A and B are shown apart, each in its own frame.
Chain A
Amino acid sequence: MSKRRTERLLSIVVLLLSSRRYLTAEQIRAAVSGYPDEQEAFKRMFERDKEELRDLGIPLETGRASRVDDDLGYRISRQDYELPEIHLEPDEAAVLGIASRVWQSAELAGAAAGAALKLRAASGEADGDAAVHPPLGVQPRLTTQEPAFGPLWEAVRDRRPVTFSYQASGRSEVTKRTLEPWGVVNRRGRWYVAGHDRMRNAPRVFRLSRITGPVKLVGPPGSVTVPEGTDVRDLVKDWDKPVSYDLTASLRVRADAGAALHHWGHPAPDPATPGWDLVTGRYSDQEWYAGYLAQFGPDVVVLGPPELREAVIRQLKGALA
C-alpha cells in the first residue's frame, strides 16, 4: 500500500513540475497510476495526497486550468520547488556532518539530517570526509526530553497561541495558562518558552519541564505578533538573573575539607582551633546559602551573621528529622 502511495505521490510531483499549465484533478488522475475508478473514493484520496505533498513543503499551487471554464488546476513552480544553487567546500561538508548530529530530539533530529541530505544532494561531489579534514574539536548536543517541546516549537514557528497547565517551582497547585509564545530558549541545558501570558496580561517565562499535561495550539497560524525589539534571550536572563553576592559570612572550615569554600574564601588558619581555617563566604540568598553550607556537614561552622547560623541549624535539624 505504502509503496504504491509513494509511487503515486512521486509521479504527481514529476508531472506537476514538468507542466507549465495548471492540470486539473482529472488530468492528474489520467496521467498517474493508482487512483480508484469510483469518483468519491478518488476525491478523498486526491485530497489526502495534496495535503501530504504540502506537509512535505512541496509548493503546490492552485489556479484556473483553462480560460473557458472555472475548473481548478494544480502545478508546482520549479523556482519555488528547487533548492537554490549551493556548493560546499569539503571542509564545509565536514562541518555540515557535525551540525546535522547536534539535535538529539525526536522533533528536530530528523529535520536536521533531512536538511543535510538535501544540501549534499544539491552540492555535488565535494563530500566532506571527516577523516581527511581536521575535526572541529567541538561537538555540541541538544536534547529535548520535555514532551512540551514539540508542540511549543510548532506554535513558535507558526505563531500560534497555546494553552497548558503549569506547576511553578515550590508550589503544589497547577495553574492553567494561555500564552502567545515569542520564542524558545535553551539556557544551562534547560528549555524555556517566553511570551505574552494572557491571564497575567504581561510577558512571562515558563520552564518546559514544569508544564504538566498536553500543550494545545488554540489559534490560527500567524495570530501571534512578537513585539518589535523583543529579545527572548533577555527575558529568560532577567527571570533567572545572575545574582550579586553582596552578603558576607564568616565561616570556620576544616583545613582538609571544603575545597570550594577554601578556593573562593581567602582562608587563614584559625588561631583558636588548630586544624580549622577561617574563611569568608559571599552569598545573596540566605536560605539557599544555608542549604549550600549544610551539605558540608560537620566540616563547616557558621560564625556569623546570627541569622545565617540559625538558618543552617534549621537546615541540619530538617535533615535529622
Chain B
Amino acid sequence: MSAQPRTVTSAERLRRLLALVPYVAARRVVGLAETASTFGMTERELIDDLNLAWCVELRAPEPYCPIDLSYEDGEISISQAESIARPLRLAADEASALLVALRMLADATGPGGGDGGSGGDGGPVSRLLAKIETAAGAAGAASSQVTVQQFNSKRVRAVADTITGALAAGRRVHLRHYVWSRDEVTERDVDPMRLLVVEGRTYLEGSCRRAEGVRLFRLDRVWSVDVLDVPAEVPVEAEPVDVDAGLFRPSESDVLAELELGPEARWVAEYYPCESMTELPGGRLRIGLRTPDTTWIRRLALRLGEDARVVSPPGLADEVRAAAAAALALYE
C-alpha cells in the first residue's frame, strides 16, 4: 500500500466501479497490475473495489448476487456483470473536457488529424473526434462554449506546420531563434521530438545539436525554420521535458528578484510565473520572480518605467538606474 492513501469519496468510487466492471467484462480476462495502472490506483485498492462489487447482494424479491468475478494469479475475470456490463454515458463535464482537448489536438495536427499527411480517411484524431461526438450526444453540447486558440498568429501557425511536416518525415530542421532575454539571435540545427502547447504558447521540443541536449524553442521567437535533407537523429538518452511539472522550474541557486508593480503594470504578474505575490495599498502589487539570469528583469524594469520598481536585489536596482541614465545621456 502507498504511504499516503488517497481519500476517495463514495461518489468517486462508484463512478470508478461503474467503469471498472464493464472494462473487465468487455475483455474477459485482464491483468491486475495493468488494470490498476489504467485506473490510476494501487493493486490493493483495485482488489478492494473488486471485493466490493462482488459483495453486492440484492435481498428482495429473491436474494441474489448480481456480480460474479474472480481474481487469481494476477488476472481478473468477470463471469456475470448483469445490468452494469456497459459503462454509464458520458456526463456533460466529461464529454466537454474530452471534446475540447480533441479539438485542440485536431487544430495542432492540422487537416490530416495526425496521419502524418498521408491523406485518406482522415487521421486518428478526426476519426476519434467524430466517434466521441456521436457517443456523447447532448452531453457534448456545452463543449462548443469553450474555445481554445492555440496559435496566436498566422506566422506561428506556418512555423508549426513546417515543424509538423518535419516530425512526420523524420527530418532535422535549421532554426533562427531569437533569445529575448539576452536580445540575441542564434542559429541551430535541431532534431524535432514534439510540439508542446503550454499556457497558450507553442514550443518545439527537440534535441539541439549545438547545445547537445533537449531544448525548448518558443515558436513565436523562431524567425525562420528550414527542413534539412538530413534524417533527424534524436539520441536515445534524450529525455522529454516533464510538462506536468511546469516548463520552467526555478532552481534553488536562482536569484530571487522582487518588484513592486503599480496598477498599470499588474499584467506582469499574469504574464510571468511568480513565486510570491502580495497585494499592497492603492492597487499596487509586490511580486517575487526566481531566475538564473536577471538580464531580462533589467529589461522589464526599463520597459515599465515609473510603473515598477526593483526592490531587490539592490545590485539589480542599481543596474536599472545605470542603464536608464546611460540611455538618457544619449538624448542630451
Contacts and interface: CB of A to CB of B under 8 A. Distances in A.
Indicate whether A and B interact: yes
A62 interface: no
A10 B114 contact: no
Contacts of A189: 198-201
Nearest to B39: A117
Contact of A294 (B137, B164, B303): B303
Contacts of B147: 183-186, 232-233
Interface string A135-179: 111111111000000000100110000000001011111000000
Interface string A71-109: 000000010111110101101101110111011100111
B128 A88 contact: yes
B92 interface: yes
A136 B105 contact: yes
B158 interface: no
B104 A140 contact: yes
Contacts of B167: 137
Given A6-B14, A122-B26, A186-B147, A142 B101 contact: yes
Interface string B213-228: 0000000000100000
Contacts, number: 379
Q: Do most interface residues of chain A lie in helix, strand or loop, or is the interface mixed?
A: helix
Interface string B122-136: 001101100110110
Interface residues of B, number: 124
A57 B89 contact: yes
B96 to A, nearest CB: 7
B83 A14 contact: yes
A119 B135 contact: yes
Given A186-B149, A297-B324, A125 B303 contact: no
A68 interface: no
B22 A188 contact: no
A259 B217 CA distance: 17
B185 interface: yes
Looking at B20, B164, B198, B302, which has the most chain A CB atoms within 10 Å of its CB?
Answer: B302
A33 B147 CA distance: 46
Contacts of B1: none
A309 interface: yes
B47 interface: no
B241 to A, nearest CB: 10
23 contacts: A10-B56, A14-B66, A31-B60, A56-B91, A59-B89, A83-B88, A100-B98, A100-B101, A102-B101, A102-B104, A112-B94, A114-B91, A118-B19, A119-B87, A120-B23, A136-B105, A139-B197, A170-B266, A184-B145, A188-B200, A300-B327, A313-B328, A319-B321
Interface of B: 8-11, 13-20, 22-23, 26-27, 38-40, 48, 52-53, 55-61, 66-67, 82-84, 86-98, 100-102, 104-105, 108-109, 114, 116, 124-125, 127-128, 131-132, 134-135, 137, 139, 142, 144-150, 152-153, 164, 167-168, 178, 180, 183-185, 192, 194-201, 223, 243-244, 263-264, 266-267, 270, 282-283, 298-307, 320-321, 323-331
9 nearest A-B residue pairs (beta carbon): A189-B200, A172-B283, A318-B306, A318-B305, A17-B83, A115-B94, A102-B101, A57-B91, A140-B197
